[in-house]
Each structure stands twice: as structure tokens, then as C-alpha cells.
Structure 1
């Protein structure tokens, strides 16, 4: 036979058995997948095949991201029925039109789409570009017979549905994995509340621990998720549909290039994750519930959840994890078990109680009486072998006859004290162990010479300090760490390497013992401003705010009058260094500048619109925009205006020293809103374009104000690239430069109601929103060459201030701007 005739036959045979050999995105009725064979979506983003998690020996039919490292899984068919050998297992279309997973040894399918398909039309299964696996008639691609988007596992993809079908009485539910290596049905799920227009999270399908709140049609949000208002104007649009056939929530992305997924995590939290290509990692965009310890029974029985430490779960005294292996996989559902069995009697060798303060008490207490004493309450528990704990307060005596569940450790003393029943040996071991160590210590101390003792003391101090510091550094990875002042003093070499300073204090570079680089900010203007408890409460609030464009707070120090905040270190420093310093700095390309402008806007929009309480920064300027190793912008010093409290009025004096960023309402004395940040951001946009300060005083004592000059050039029809930073040599997209200048002009309008929100700013920068050129604000024209303007200086007499403010108010009272196109937006 001729070789030319053999090759086509051979290829057809191979492709018949291995659809992926020709890069196919579908499986026909006469084909199947087995072993290492896969199908890939047309764009190459998604892949379907046999998936093996971690070090297990189990295989699952799954869909994952092919182009993203780590193979993040978005859907699994046989999550509770894994197969052990992928080479004897096949995913194929059966004779009755169903997609099935079968093995050579099983007579019935391991998994099936379970359709009642009675037609003779041939069918095929296709992996679409959005990650949806559909089973459809080959002759028609309109309505699928079955699709994975209607049967999600733990992940809801864009355009997927989560809700309830009123026709089939079926529900779409997201259910967590058991642990990081077991995709089986876990304990946490989110589903549509069949009794109300809301979504709820359940533990073990019984205990509700979170609710979205009712749907508010007028605002298009769920009442307990105000974040949806932010998400609708930013990356995503969430929609709630309720008609005669179905009721569900879905979401879409504004930019098709955004890779995102909504996951019911093993932690019991619903997490919106977005892939950040620059850092090659999934970034948490938002999550519910906001704190891990709000998840019901996250730590299982006889364990307590502590939000301020990692890991969050800790066994009670006298208890150990039921499964150390599961705890290492972040599966704490098994809880803890006793080290020693109860003897069921009191006395010297019987059961005793350990005291555990500051607790949110366990579920399902049994009320005894209001008139008993604490001693009688303890006796009531000891008399019953099933009693595991008791608590006594002004409300009376409460005892528990079941496993202790859903306990939380509080950072302050606001909680209750729980008395936990233990075998006497588990209570006494702490005291006896301490006595033994004391005796040994004294004996060793007496037996060694003075020199050795001094050396040993120095070593112990060093070791403990390092251990404490390393523990704090480890905790910084996911939660706030509390540092001792002397530790930060050591890490920063007595605060010798200053990175910068501002209205709230100075920032110093430091290096922890584990080589982690930090930036420690000394809040010099708030000594004695707040007590320990109030300061920690405010810092905890700031520490919970996480966004890719916000500098992350890692820890804090509060000792005596010293208040410090510990941040992640930004290797490329602040934006002003790259914009205004001409020596030894990298010239930022236009693409990078546009990315910095967009990222900064996203961070501010998050603070204004996503946080439960709107956070106004009050000091937006290039010095407070930091750049990481990839020049990703991160807004710094957010929340400090709230943190300093009453001291803020003194800090404002320093802020007014930053010329050129103050909104008119700062000067006129009106109430400050988030639109003050919008104004400052608009001023900063001009500096990003020009690469120079907006305000420049020449040798002839003449003031050059760039925004006035630039906007005049634009309105006169000159080439917009003429106002660009000369170092860029005109290398920029003319349309983008024009859009940013128009946007900056919109942001600095005199009336705050005529300025955009930061959400709208992001939409403009992403090309999703357009508007006409606003008129140049009257105040910008008026003060463009006035070096005495209060908009640019703060240190002037009260008489001068009153005169300037009155003049400004008079001049701007009748200001009119042609914003018809903008107001319609």
C-alpha cells in the first residue's frame, strides 16, 4: 500500500480515539476521553479531562483553566464518586444520548447527565469558551439539552446561574469542597432561600450563618450586600431574575479579558477571585461573610475560632485535633477530641474545670436557674456525666450536655467566661509542668557560674524576641500581627532609614528576622489621641480592607504613647519619585501611567463604594500612591483620617501645606464627602500626564498652573500630545491622553455634585463610558496665576483666610458649567 494512502487512514483512527490530538473542543457520539486525553475550548482558556487533586490517587472528570498555572478547577462531574484508574475509565456519550462516565469494571455509569432523550438526532458535547460544558444536538447549536452551568459544584462562572427552577423544582447550589485535596461535597453551601427573595449560606444544610438580605428592586442590590452597588459600576454586573419560570442570580464582566470566578470556598466564605496576570496569582476581590470566624462551626467541636491569629482554629485546653492530616488541609470540621476521658465525678482525682475567658459561648446551652451561685452551677454540671461545660453570669447558670460547637475567641474582654470540664490530669498538668520547669531552672541557675548565667540570659532574651518576631511575621501573611515597640525599633535599626513622611507621620524601612521587608509608619500626631482598645478596634477595621490597589496593613504597635502601623514594603517607592525626579529614576511609559491612573481609581472606588462605611482618604497625591515591583499602584494611608479622630484637625494643617490638591469645599468650610478625593485625584491626573507639578513658581516669581494651561491648549484645538511629559517623546495614544485630560477636568469641577464618582472614573478609563468636554472650572481660571490663593497655601493669617475664602465664594457663586452630557450619565 502506498504511504500516502496509509497516513490519512492512520490519522483518522488516532483522532477517532483521541479527540484532543487535533485540538478539538468537542466529543462526538462515536468518541470518548480516557487517560491523559482532554478537550480544550476554542480560545484555549479551559480544558476538560481527568483531574487528580494533590497527592491523592483519585481521579475526577473536571474543567479547569488551561492557561493559568495551578489548574484552578471550576467544575467537577463525579465529585463524590472518584475513579482510581483513568486509563480504564471513559467519558463518552451513551446510546440513550446521555454523557456518562464509565469504567471497564462497572456495569452502571459512575456519573451521568440523566436526561430522558427520546429523539434519534445525534448529539455532541462541547466545551465553550466561557467554561460551560454543553450537551446538544449536533445539527442544532441553539438550546443545549444539558449544560454544566446549570449544575455548578463550588464555582459560579460569569453568566452562570445560582437559584431555583420553578418548572422542574430543581436548584443550583454552590457547595464547598471537603478540603483542599478532596472535592467531595463539603459542609458549606449557598442557595436561594425558597421563602424569601434572598440567598443564604448553610452549614451542614441545617444552620444558617449568612444572608444576602432581601432584594431591593429600586437599587438593584441585596439589602445586606451594599458591595453590589460598587460591583455594578466596576468590573462586574450582578443581576437578580425572578419570573414565572425561575429565580436566580447571575453576573457578567464588563471586560471580556477579565478572568474571574465566584467560589464557595472550603473556608465557608463566598469569594470573588480575579486573576492578576502581572503577579500570576488569584486576587481576592471581595468575600462574604467578611470575617472567617463568622462562618458557623468553622473549627468543629471543642475548638475555638480566633480571628486575630493564624491558624484561626485552636483546640481547647485538654483537647487535640481529631485528624491532624485534615487540619493541615484546612479542613477543621472534624474538630477536636479529649486527651483523657472524663471520670464523671469531682474531687481530687475526678473531673475539674479549666477557665476560658473572652468567649462567644457555644451553641445550644441548657438553662438551669437564675438564683444559683457559681458554685452551685459548677456542682450542677459535675452531677451529670453528660455535662461538658458551664457558664455563670448575671443572667444565671447555663450548662452544656452536648459537644461544644461554634465558639469564638474575642480579642478584648467583652465575651463570656466558659468553664470547660476536663479530666483532672489535663487541668493539673499545666501547674505541675510549670513547677518542674521552675525547679530545673533554679537548679541549673545555681549550678552555673555568673558568666554562663549572663550569657544564657542574653541568649534566652534574643531567642524569645526572635521567636516572637517570627511568629508575628508569620501571622502577617493573613491577619494583623501585634508588634512590640522594641521589635520594630530593632527591625528598623532605631528608625534610621526614612522612606518618607506626611501629615500623619514618618515611614521607615525595616527588615524582619525572616528577611521580610516592611514599612513602619510612626503616627507622630496621634500620641495620647486614643486609648489602646479604641486604637486596636480602628486598626482592625483598616486591616480587614483588602484590595489589589490598596497597600496592605500587616500589623501594628500600641505601647504607651507610641502608635505604629506596619505595611507591606513597596520596592518602587511612591509615584512622585518617578514623575518629578529626573535623576536615577525610571521613566514611566504612557502604558504604565495609564495603568497607574486606572489602578488608583479602582482602589479609591473600593474605599468609597464597596466598604460598608465609606472611607474618604482626604490626602490623595502622588506621594500616597505607592508602586510594587510590577509598578502596580497601591493607595497608601487610607483610613488614617478616621483613625486619628479628634487630632485630624491638626493634621489638616499639614495637608493644606500640600499645594494644589485641595477641593474648594476644604476652603469654604463645607462638609467633606468622597467627592473631595475625586477632586484631588483629578489634580493628580494632570501631573501623571505632564510629569511635573501642577504648580510651578518661576524665577520671576510668576506662578505657572499646568491644569489651566493644558485645558486652554486643548480647548484651543492644539495637539494634545504637546502637553505630554517631554520625556515620553510623544509615545502615547492620543485618544487616551485626551480622555484623561477631559476626565481630569470633570473631576475638578467646582461643585462636587458635578464631579463623577470614582466608579464612573474607572468606567471612563476602561473605555466603558464617554462624555463631552466639560468647561474649565471658574476657580481654576480665577486662581491659575494667583500665588496667594488659599487653594495652594495653608499658612496665612485668619484675616487673610477669611478674605480669600469670601472672595472665592463670591467668585464661584454664579459659576455655571455646561454639563448636560455628563449629568445624563
Structure 2
């Protein structure tokens, strides 16, 4: 560097630094009296710097700025507190968060007007400072005594409740702290839903709608859990405390493992959610209350209907449109409800263009709230009473007459297998009825009668066409091959012939037996006769159609199905090499040893299949019974996960019985016994247990004389942690012929998969990356549960065979992939 350039460089450094400081955000630790932040300036939490406070813009909203706190070290921007939630700012550079000389913390807009304040009694003191603690608590404190808190954000929560915080009832002032939802996903303004302790002083929490309607309660505290929240029982993550003294009631929670990131949120959809952060995956839902979205009061607003099975929970009734289309469709803010497209003619039912008001029949509905009973003796009289009442918008008759005046709220469309549904008749203008494509127009004019007659004729003709087509289809299906990519609806007789009256049994389990069959075109198939599937035929066909669209090289392919009355069967591709267990544990096949390369490919293929079910399908599908018996092998020994569709078929029943364990002993995750909702991490645990068996070539709990190591997974974990001889973990039949790096990698993955706490287990997507060598992993701690099992020389016995009822759950976030190797540190939690 010459002298001229050197001089220019040293002169330019201060200016460069100044330029960077004025354009990039920078963090301070405290604010003293008279100091402020604005623009991109922030306050970073003391200690590890887990949180940050400053100006932010939520979602896609431009020119609306708020002072908030967010997580600083996770990839997804997530706020946990908002100061000026109901008074946004238009310019963050001319606005300030400032600590005044009177000890109050305030937000000033561009005109220096105070729009938010801590509202403390003014005092002349320079001994106050503002700081953000590493718990996420923003505090005002005495400079000389940092533990002397003058004000704290934990006493003024918005929608998020962090570990160490509390939602309390002050018995002296009768003031309640509330957790209140955002208005919608992009507007932090005060929403309609809130959580608070019972103002009467009992030890139960209520969720309220608009501060006036209680629609959920936690039940009272019994000393260990809230009585109506069984998910709290036997958890491994949270430590709960309830305090009741002369001054206050409150509940608080903390984490046994401080490295876990967790938050409790009053969601915009009216549910309280407990979430934990999993790196590479995102926020993982631990539990939610109420369990069903449609239990939330007025979730869909006036004249909206809720549907648990639909991708969008709320929709407007026929003849209605959203009051605010953008909020309703894009922001999941359904509170504005729906409005009529066409006004009613009302009292005298006067004819307009020859039409009159009438009714649309809506079948299998969960009826709205706030009905009024009328003393009439027939359905016709009930209809007439509603028709002649301007305020009446709907009626139902089921031995008694119920009418609804004003807004119709809490209407739910039930699924076909729900038996509690009723018929509801919605009042609509004549023009809406004449255009209807669903429902039945009820009574009114001659036009209605003609429309009804024509509709009946069309329906009859349609039925005849369908009947003829179905018969022709059944004749053809036995002699023709299904179109590629489509499911074939087999008749029972077809499959009876194909399987020679179900004479060659291939195997069986909790869901039924499997038989070998040969179709007329010589295609060999496996036919599973299902047991314990109680869905109606329409629902069964819908579920099977969904499963049929799920295709992956490592998932068994569904070719067709049979649904005739109670006879339910699924037709799969035949796997000539059978199941994995027969090669690992069957002495008769001892001559057919799977070499290490083949085993590793089976492990990787199985992981890819599960990752597809968990992360790539429209709905996350949890298998619930991963074991060698359910891993099938084709002619080239490519692994295929089998029975994954059965988890989806019985998913709804499972979701209602959270405490019932399902699966096979030796592969069940610890959370099955805790009564909490199962996530995809239960499959990860089962996969880890199976992976140990794939490595060792024997059952994990084998106690025979030649296997003196006892419970294999525990011994394997110790070998890895103590840097023992890794090849000693290998199946002796392989005679040490294996890739040492792959064996080491597979053992470490298996150890992480079987961790007690599900938050510590990797996602299946991450498992795939580790086995592919994209991600490096360090040894894991030995799970406490397995240590106990090993010490006692016995195995936990849950079930002797597969359950007949696994589950499918709502969506979990997808994990990303990387094109280069990443390193995961061993402390404190390499998998998160």
C-alpha cells in the first residue's frame, strides 16, 4: 500500500464506521434517564442475548411500526411482546422509545406526542434504567439495586406467556392480567380472544370471547395439573407451579432444560398453544386448547360455518359473502363474519320478480347457539313461523321447533361419520334459492315446486347413469388393469377369486390379515382385510383416495380397495422379499444375510419414506407403528414403509383418545404413557429403536446368553460416548465387513432418535441429511428411561402386537435441506 492510499484508508475508517452505525441496527444493553432508541437501534438482552427489543413491522404491513420484543437467535422472526399494539407509528426514524427524567418509559411519535407510557407515578430521580433480561422480560429498575424492579413487561403481557412469567389475579385490587390475541396474523392490535384467571378467585383459567363469553375452562388446579388439561400430566419438559396466597393467585411454568425454547400463545384463532422451537424445523405445537378449532366461540363470525376437516376452518354460508374479504380469506380473521348477497323480502313475503323468500336445507350440521323454542306441532308450522318473522334467519325441527333470530353463530359442518348432526333450514332470498347447487329449496312458490320436480327427475336420471356405470365397471375391473395413477375399486368377489378365497396368508397384525392374490392380468398383489375400521362408506372412499395420491419410492403403493358394507380391503403391490424382520431375526433365513451396504440403504430409504409422510404430504401422517415387520422389501431390496395409510384411515378416532397407547412393545416412545397428544416425533423414536436392530441383527431386548450386553440401545450409547469399539455393535453375521463411518453415523442417529424428550429428537428430514452425510452429529446423552430399563434388566411391556388404531395429525412444519455439510455441536443439545 503506498503512502497516499494508506493515508486515505486511515482517514476513511471513522467515516465508514459512522456510516455503518447510521444505517445498520445496533444493540445497547440498557437505557439510562434521558436516553432513547429510534430507527434500527435496538436493545439486546443481558447475558446470552436471546432477545432483542426495537421497532418492527408485522407481516406485510408497511408504514406501521411497533415497539416489540422478539427472539434474536432463531431463524423465524417471532415477537413475544408489543408495547403500542393499538397505536402504530408511521415512521420509526422520527419516533423514539425514551426513558424520561420522571422515571417513565414512553414512546414518542414524530410530533413528540406520547402514544404509550409505563404510567408510573412521576418522581425526580436519575437512578432508574431500562434493561431487557435474557428471560424476555423488559424491566425498569433501580440502578443501585438491579433486583428492585419498578416496572416489568411480564406484568403487562400481550399474546405470549414465556417461562417464568405469570398470568395472575390480584386479590387486593381485583385486577386480572390477561393474555390477549392479536387481531389477525399481521395486526398486533387487541383481538377478541383472551385468557385469564377466574375473577371469582377459583383456581381455573377461562378463555373469553370479547371479554364477555366464556367458552373454555382449564378446570381447577388439583395440586399437580389443571383437571381438564390432561396433557400436563407426566411431561418431561415443563415444571408447573400454582400459587394461591392472601395477595394473589397465579400459575407459572419453567423448563427443566434451559436450552429449550418454548412459548405459550393466545392464538388469533381462539386457541391457546404451547409451542417449542426445533432448529431446522420451526415451531412445533406441543398442545392446544380447546382441542378442536370449532369449539372456539364465534370463530367464523356471523353466518359463517366451521369445518374441522377443511383446509380453511371457516367459510361463508351459501348466499353470503365475507364482510371483509381480505381479512377473511388471507389473514384468518373471520371475526367480521359474512353478510347477505341479496336482502330478504321480510314480513309479508312480498313477491319480487315472481319469487319469494324460502329455505335452504343444510344437512348434518352442529346447530348454532342461542336458539329460541316455539310451541308448534309440526315442521310446516315451524317453517311458517320463521318465514313470517323478519328477525328469523334459520330454523330446525326435530320433534320440537327451534328458530334463530339475528346473527347465526357457532354453526359447524360435521363430517359424514359424526352422528350428532341435524338439519338446519337457512332463510334465503328467492334468487339465491334458484341458483343453489346444494341443499333443498323449501316451500314457497310454484316456481319452487317446478324447480324441485325438475331437480328430482335430473337426480333420478343421474342415479340410473351412475348405477349402469358402476355395474359395467365391476364387470370390467376383474378383467382389466387399473389406469396408472388411479385406484381400482374392486368388488369383494373380485378379491375372493384373486386370493383363492383368501387361502394364502402372508401375515397379519392389529389391523387385519394379509393375503397373496393374483389379478386376471397376472399381477401379483397383497390384499389386506381390514378390521376395526368404522367409517361410513363415503368417508372410507374419500380417505382411501387421499392415500392413493401419496406415492414415494419408499412407501408401499396402494393399487385399489374394496368397500362393500362392512367388507373393507386394501390392495397393495406384492413385495417378493417380504418384511425386514425375517432377514434380521429369522433363523431359517440365516443363509440370506443382508450385507452392511444393503442395511444402510434400507435405513436411509425408510427415513426418506417417513420424512415424506411427515413433511411433504398435505397433512402430516404419523405412522404410529414403525418396526421391522412393517418395512417391506421389493425384488431389489428397496425398503417400502407399509401400513402408513392405516394411520390416516383411523386418525379421527385416535385424536379423541389421547391416553390410549398404540404401536408395538419395544418401539413405543415415552410420551405414549403421559396422556399427551402424539406428534411425528413418536415415529422418530420407533425408527431409532428399529435402526439399532438393523445394526445389531437382533431384538433390542434380547437377553440370551450370547448377548450379554443386556438392553442393546443403552450399551450401544455407552460404547459411542466412551469411544469404544464401534464395530462391536455390528451384527456378528457381517464379520466386521462394514463402513466404519456409516456404522458410527447410524448409531449416533439412533441414539438421538430415542431421546426421552421429543423436542431433543431430530425430524426425519434431518435424519435423512445425517445419513446422507450432509450434516455431522456428535454423541447424544443416554436417555434416562433406557438407563432404568438396562439397570433393571427388563423391558417396558405395552402391547403384544400392533394396535388397530394409529393416527394422523394436523400439519407440522417442514424441515429444510442443505447442499453442504453442517456441524451440530454436542452441547447442550446437538439435535436442536
The structure where helix makes up a greater share of residues is 1
Change (3 A) 1:527 1:110: same
Alignment of 1:304-315 (within 5 A): 304-315=305-316
Deviations 1:156-185 (A, max 9, x none): 111111122234443221111111111101
Residue 100 of structure 2 is aligned to residue 94 of structure 1: yes
| Distance in 2 (alpha carbons) for counterparts of 1:381 and 1:642 | 41
Residue 715 of structure 2 is aligned to residue 711 of structure 1: no
What is the match of residue 285 of structure 1? 286
Change (3 A) 1:60 1:275: same
Change (3 A) 1:71 1:122: same
Q: What secondary structure is seen at the aligned counterpart in 2 of 1:257?
A: coil
Per the TM alignment, residue 77 of structure 1 is displaced from its structure 2 partner at its CA by: 0.4
Deviations 1:61-107 (A, max 9, x none): 01112232331111100101111111111001011111110123143
Count of residue pairs brought into register by the alignment: 625
Of the three residues 220, 225, 230, the one matched with 1:226 is 230
What is the match of residue 199 of structure 1? 205
Residue 130 of structure 2 is aligned to residue 113 of structure 1: no
| Distance in 2 (alpha carbons) for counterparts of 1:63 and 1:566 | 54
Q: What secondary structure is seen at the aligned counterpart in 2 of 1:381?
A: helix
Change (3 A) 1:110 1:350: same
Residue 163 of structure 2 is aligned to residue 158 of structure 1: yes
| Distance in 1 (alpha carbons) for counterparts of 2:483 and 2:297 | 36
What is the match of residue 490 of structure 1? 486
Residue 275 of structure 2 is aligned to residue 273 of structure 1: yes
Kindly indicate whether the alpha-carbon contact (under 8 Å) linking 1:360 and 1:416 is maintained by their aligned counterparts in 2: yes
Per the TM alignment, residue 318 of structure 1 is displaced from its structure 2 partner at its CA by: 1.1
Per the TM alignment, residue 622 of structure 1 is displaced from its structure 2 partner at its CA by: 4.5
Q: Structure 2 stretches of 5 or more lacking a match? A: 1-6, 438-446, 455-464, 470-480, 496-505, 515-524, 548-554, 573-578, 585-592, 612-621, 633-640, 654-662, 731-735, 757-779, 802-832
Change (3 A) 1:70 1:19: closer
Of the three residues 128, 131, 145, the one matched with 2:136 is 131
| Distance in 2 (alpha carbons) for counterparts of 1:577 and 1:39 | 61
What is the match of residue 696 of structure 2? 692
What is the match of residue 614 of structure 2? none
Of the three residues 82, 89, 98, the one matched with 1:83 is 89
Q: What secondary structure is seen at the aligned counterpart in 2 of 1:191?
A: strand
Of the three residues 183, 189, 195, the one matched with 2:188 is 183
Kindly indicate whether the alpha-carbon contact (under 8 Å) linking 1:18 and 1:37 is maintained by their aligned counterparts in 2: no
Residue 28 of structure 2 is aligned to residue 24 of structure 1: yes
Deviations 1:610-639 (A, max 9, x none): xxxxx997x66355599xxxxxx9996897
| Distance in 1 (alpha carbons) for counterparts of 2:208 and 2:309 | 24
Residue 394 of structure 2 is aligned to residue 392 of structure 1: no
| Distance in 2 (alpha carbons) for counterparts of 1:308 and 1:778 | 39
What is the match of residue 822 of structure 2? none
| Distance in 2 (alpha carbons) for counterparts of 1:299 and 1:92 | 41
What is the match of residue 251 of structure 1? 253
Kindly indicate whether the alpha-carbon contact (under 8 Å) linking 2:231 and 2:674 is maintained by their aligned counterparts in 1: no
Q: What secondary structure is seen at the aligned counterpart in 2 of 1:149?
A: helix
Residue 328 of structure 2 is aligned to residue 327 of structure 1: yes
Kindly indicate whether the alpha-carbon contact (under 8 Å) linking 1:686 and 1:707 is maintained by their aligned counterparts in 2: no
Q: What secondary structure is seen at the aligned counterpart in 2 of 1:430?
A: coil
What is the match of residue 517 of structure 1? none
Q: What secondary structure is seen at the aligned counterpart in 1 of 2:385?
A: helix
What is the match of residue 356 of structure 2? 350
Per the TM alignment, residue 490 of structure 1 is displaced from its structure 2 partner at its CA by: 1.4
Of the three residues 424, 427, 448, the one matched with 1:418 is 424
Of the three residues 406, 409, 417, the one matched with 1:405 is 409
Per the TM alignment, residue 116 of structure 1 is displaced from its structure 2 partner at its CA by: 2.0
| Distance in 1 (alpha carbons) for counterparts of 2:704 and 2:537 | 46
| Distance in 1 (alpha carbons) for counterparts of 2:366 and 2:147 | 54
Of the three residues 233, 239, 243, the one matched with 2:241 is 239
| Distance in 2 (alpha carbons) for counterparts of 1:778 and 1:303 | 52
Change (3 A) 1:90 1:705: same
Per the TM alignment, residue 695 of structure 1 is displaced from its structure 2 partner at its CA by: 5.9
Kindly indicate whether the alpha-carbon contact (under 8 Å) linking 1:34 and 1:88 is maintained by their aligned counterparts in 2: yes
Q: Structure 1 stretches of 5 or more lacking a match? A: 440-456, 462-484, 508-520, 544-550, 568-573, 600-614, 627-632, 646-654, 664-671, 697-702, 745-762, 781-790, 793-825
Residue 729 of structure 2 is aligned to residue 724 of structure 1: yes
Kindly indicate whether the alpha-carbon contact (under 8 Å) linking 1:506 and 1:522 is maintained by their aligned counterparts in 2: no
Per the TM alignment, residue 194 of structure 1 is displaced from its structure 2 partner at its CA by: 2.1
What is the match of residue 341 of structure 2? 339
Across the aligned residues of Structure 1 and Structure 2, the Cα RMSD in angstroms comes to 5.9
Kindly indicate whether the alpha-carbon contact (under 8 Å) linking 1:321 and 1:336 is maintained by their aligned counterparts in 2: yes
Kindly indicate whether the alpha-carbon contact (under 8 Å) linking 2:540 and 2:649 is maintained by their aligned counterparts in 1: no
| Distance in 2 (alpha carbons) for counterparts of 1:115 and 1:376 | 64
Kindly indicate whether the alpha-carbon contact (under 8 Å) linking 1:621 and 1:661 is maintained by their aligned counterparts in 2: no
Kindly indicate whether the alpha-carbon contact (under 8 Å) linking 1:687 and 1:694 is maintained by their aligned counterparts in 2: no
